[in-house]
Structures are given as structure tokens and as C-alpha cells.
Amino acid sequence: MIRVLVAEDMRILRDTLVSVLNLEEDIKVVAQVAAGPDIVPAALAERPDVAMLDIDLPGLDGLTAAAELHERMPACRVVILTVLGHPGQLRAALAAHVSGFMVKDAPSDQLIDVLRRVAAGDRVIDPKLALAALEMKENPLSEREADVLRRFAAGVDLPEIAAELFLSYGTVRNYLASAVTKLGGRNRMDAVRVATEAGWL
């Protein structure tokens, strides 16, 4: 019997997923949670074989929870579910020792197959996401450009970024302009979007 923990903040999706999984003779949902901070305590209490985690959870995202779960309970394998998978998310998931990475619109029989394969020790990645990650170009940003863009993305204003990094205001503007150009962004916010989706920030 494959013991499963389900973490999904949307009640109707969680209930549906639990019901579908419990219809299988070899699968039993032993825990279900709606928030990231509840994942590790529930896993330690119920000892699931596989944790199916939504990537976007309140309190603690699925990837951070997956990394923590790997540290505290390495025998529990993790499948991440996401609405829109980006190559950057996939790289972060692999770094967090995730065993499966699937988009939520996958057919239920495919999701169940992934769960069984992960429980058996396989690593299963959505083929389209894996291909996108392989085709992705190298990060064009220098370390300093990424640093400035990361702070800008966090809402830090330019004078404050300059002070934090011991740079002049003009230099900060130049780094941002260079980052926008290298990323092919329409503006600074678009550059943040491109870099975030690619996992470069």
C-alpha cells in the first residue's frame, strides 16, 4: 500500500485529488493539509511514502517544504504539482530533491502512474517541462546584474539598492538597463518576469 500525503490549499481540488487517489486499491491518502507549514508535522506523524505538494501554498511554498521534508524525512518522496511549470521551477525542484514534477492539468491516470513510479523509486518529470529546461539558454546576467535586479524585484528603490551595494545611483541604473537588454525585456518589470520564470533570480 502506497501511503500518500496531499498538500493543496484549494479545498475542492484537494477533496477531488484525495477521492481519486483513494479509489485505487494500492493507494491510501493518510494525511491532507492546506498550508505549507503543516506538511512536515503531518508527514512526521503519518509517515507517508509519497507527498504530493502544490507548488504555491500559503505560509510556505511547496519547493521549500519539499527541501525541508527531504532533510527531516528522506524516505518520503515528493511529487510537485503546478499550474504553469517554468524551467526555473523545475531546476529548483530538482535541487530540493523532488522525485516528480507534474502540471495540474495532467489526466488523473497519468498522475496516479507518476505516483506509483515515484513510490517505486523512479524520478518522473513532465516531458514538456524537461524539454523546455534542456532548451533553455544559459543565464545571460552577470552576478552583479542579477543582484541588482533581485533587489529591484523585491521592491527596493534605486537609491537604497545603491547604498546596499556601495554603488552610485547611475551605476545601479546602468546595471538594470543592461539586465533589461540582455533578457529582452520590454521594461524592468518584464525583465524581472523573464528572469524569475527562468530561475535566474
**Over the stretch 148-197, which tens digit does the pLDDT of each residue have?**
999 999 999 999 999 999 999 999 999 999 999 988 889 999 999 888 87
Residue of 4, 7, 102 lying closest to 59 (CA atoms): 7
Round to whole Å and give the CA distance between 80 and 6.
10
**Cα 95 off chain centre by:** 10
Give the span between the Cα atoms of 14 and 9, in whole angstroms. 7
Residue 5 has φ and ψ, to the nearest 5°, of -105, 135
Please list the residue range(s) of the chain that carry CATH number 3.40.50.2300. 2-135
**Whole-structure pTM over 0.75, yes or no?**
no
Mean pLDDT estimate for the chain: 89
Indicate the fold that domain 2-135 takes in CATH: Rossmann fold (3.40.50)
Pick the CATH number of 143-198 from 1.10.10.10, 3.30.310.50, 2.40.10.480, 1.10.1740.10: 1.10.10.10
What tens digit of pLDDT does each residue of 49-76 get?
A: 999 999 889 999 998 999 999 999 999 9
Question: Which stretch of DSSP H or E encloses residue 4?
Answer: strand 2-7
Cβ atoms within 10 A of the Cβ of 32, count?
Answer: 20
What distances in angstroms separate CA 3 from CA 8, 22, 50, 106, 153, one per listed residue?
17, 10, 7, 21, 40
